[in-house]
């Protein structure tokens, strides 16, 4: 089967870009003819590993951004749609998988709606009106929309997008055996942005700092909330406990060092961090935010607490710190997550959906 992925910019670092490359590679390994078409591409090279059989192409060699005037952006959208309309990989594909709203819009404008599957990785209400209604109108033109969680599926169906299926993300890294004793490190990974909730983590740690006894909280990532987080850490006197590591090259090394991790997000599309942690046998503490954590941890692997309940998060972290047997138990349960989101299992789910709608 000829399968083409369309994505806004796969030369940048992001969760959607990473899972797209994982899925494309698995589809190629299973014998399909696969391509990834990046609408834009500042450096021309994909930022994540791809199986050698996957063809990677940057479709448009000009810049596009919100800093441009509306007239300029509309003109470029027309040019992009025309270029994609004549893209041989898209023309020859049996199925076009557009990752998120922008790629779906381009695919519809270029005339591929009859073989279009949209993959949406965000909470339903990420956009505001009237853009929300416009997105839903575009999604209704696709053969089917694939979302990551049951909660997200319900939101789309409730708002008139009725052809919606659920497929989770596949494990992006190879799984390892459950942990033995590791360093006294509590790990958190993600963009330093409002939705990731690292300010809530800082507050929770401040409430239990007297009981941490040599444990460190290491936050890996960069973003526009760094200055605010640094100020909070200083205000609470947590400089020796919480370390902002910045961006790190190989996240698997970070998972391998830590004893457990925390996902303090206000909302998630799915939480790739929880999958990565499970693959490394790392137990987790997470807010039960929309969407993803409750579904990923439904068969164990960590502790869920009420979304943005700071005191409950602190208590859950302290339970993990004080109970090595509990950490081992949750670590062993991560094998349940690994089985549910293995590359082959997710690939088979995708092929069933493709066969059902195309």
Per domain, the residue ranges of the chain are 2-170+342-357, 185-340
Structure tokens at 105: 């819009």
What are the contacts of 150-153 at 24+ separation with CB within 8 A? 150/295, 151/290, 151/291, 151/295, 152/120, 152/123, 152/124, 152/269, 152/290, 152/291
Cα distance between residue 62 and residue 72, in whole Å:
12
In tens, the pLDDT along 278-299 reads 999 999 999 999 888 999 999 9
Reference 167, options 202, 216, 125, 117; nearest CA is: 117
Average pLDDT, the chain: 92
Distance of CA 191 to the CA centre of its chain: 11
The CATH number given to 185-340 is 3.40.50.2000
pLDDT recorded at residue 179: 61
Cα distance between residue 21 and residue 266, in whole Å:
26
Beta-carbon contacts of 162 under 8 Å, excluding residues fewer than 6 positions away, are none
User: What does 247-312 look like in DSSP terms, one character per residue?
Assistant: --S-HHHHHHH-SEEEE--S--SS-HHHHHHHHTT--EEEEE-SSSHHHHTTTSSEEEEETT-HHH
Cα distance between residue 31 and residue 53, in whole Å:
9
Under-70 pLDDT residues of the chain: 43, 62-68, 70, 73, 177-181
Architecture of domain 2-170+342-357: 3-Layer(aba) Sandwich (3.40)
In tens, the pLDDT along 131-172 reads 899 999 999 999 999 999 999 999 999 999 999 999 999 988
Beta strands in 73-184 (DSSP E): 95-99, 116-119, 144-147, 164-166
Distance of CA 262 to the CA centre of its chain: 16
pLDDT recorded at residue 270: 87
Reference 190, options 119, 274, 120, 292; nearest CA is: 274
Q: From edge to edge, which strands make up the β-sheet containing 260-263?
A: 242-246, 216-220, 185-189, 260-263, 284-288, 302-306
User: Residue 54 to residues 29, 35, 89, 249, 340: CA-CA distances in angstroms?
Assistant: 9, 5, 12, 24, 25
pLDDT recorded at residue 127: 80
Which stretches of 13-94 are DSSP H helices? 15-29, 70-85, 88-92
pLDDT recorded at residue 194: 95
């Amino acid at each position: 089967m000829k399968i083409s992925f369309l994505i806004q910019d796969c030369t940048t670092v992001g969760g959607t870009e990473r899972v797209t490359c994982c899925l494309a590679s698995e589809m190629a390994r299973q014998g399909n003819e696969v391509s990834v078409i990046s609408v834009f591409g500042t450096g021309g090279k994909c930022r994540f590993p791809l199986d050698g059989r996957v063809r990677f192409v940057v479709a448009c060699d000009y810049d596009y951004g919100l800093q441009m005037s509306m007239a300029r952006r509309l003109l470029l959208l027309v040019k992009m749609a025309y270029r994609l309309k004549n893209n041989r990989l898209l023309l020859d594909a049996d199925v076009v998988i557009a990752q998120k709203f922008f790629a779906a819009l381009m695919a519809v404008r270029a005339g591929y709606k009859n073989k279009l599957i949209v993959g949406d990785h965000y909470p339903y209400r990420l956009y505001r009106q009237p853009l929300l209604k416009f997105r839903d109108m575009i999604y209704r033109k696709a053969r089917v929309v694939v979302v990551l969680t049951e909660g997200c599926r319900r939101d789309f169906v409730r708002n008139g997008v009725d052809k919606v299926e659920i497929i989770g993300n596949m494990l992006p890294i190879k799984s390892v055996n459950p942990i033995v004793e590791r360093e006294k490190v509590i790990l958190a990974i993600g963009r330093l942005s409002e939705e990731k909730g690292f300010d809530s983590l800082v507050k929770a740690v401040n409430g239990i700092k007297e009981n941490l006894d040599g444990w460190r909280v290491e936050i890996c990532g960069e973003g526009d909330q760094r200055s605010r987080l640094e100020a909070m850490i200083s205000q609470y006197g947590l400089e020796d406990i919480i370390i902002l590591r910045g961006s790190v090259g190989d996240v698997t090394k970070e998972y391998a060092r830590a004893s457990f991790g925390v996902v303090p997000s206000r909302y998630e599309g799915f939480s790739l961090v929880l999958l990565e942690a499970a693959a490394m046998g790392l137990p987790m503490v997470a807010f039960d935010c929309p969407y993803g954590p409750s579904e990923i941890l439904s068969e164990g692997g960590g502790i869920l607490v009420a979304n943005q309940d700071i005191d409950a998060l602190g208590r859950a972290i302290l339970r993990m710190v004080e109970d090595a047997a509990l950490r081992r138990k949750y670590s062993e349960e991560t094998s349940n997550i690994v089985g549910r989101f293995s590359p082959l299992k997710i690939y088979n789910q995708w092929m069933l959906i493709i066969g059902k709608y195309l």
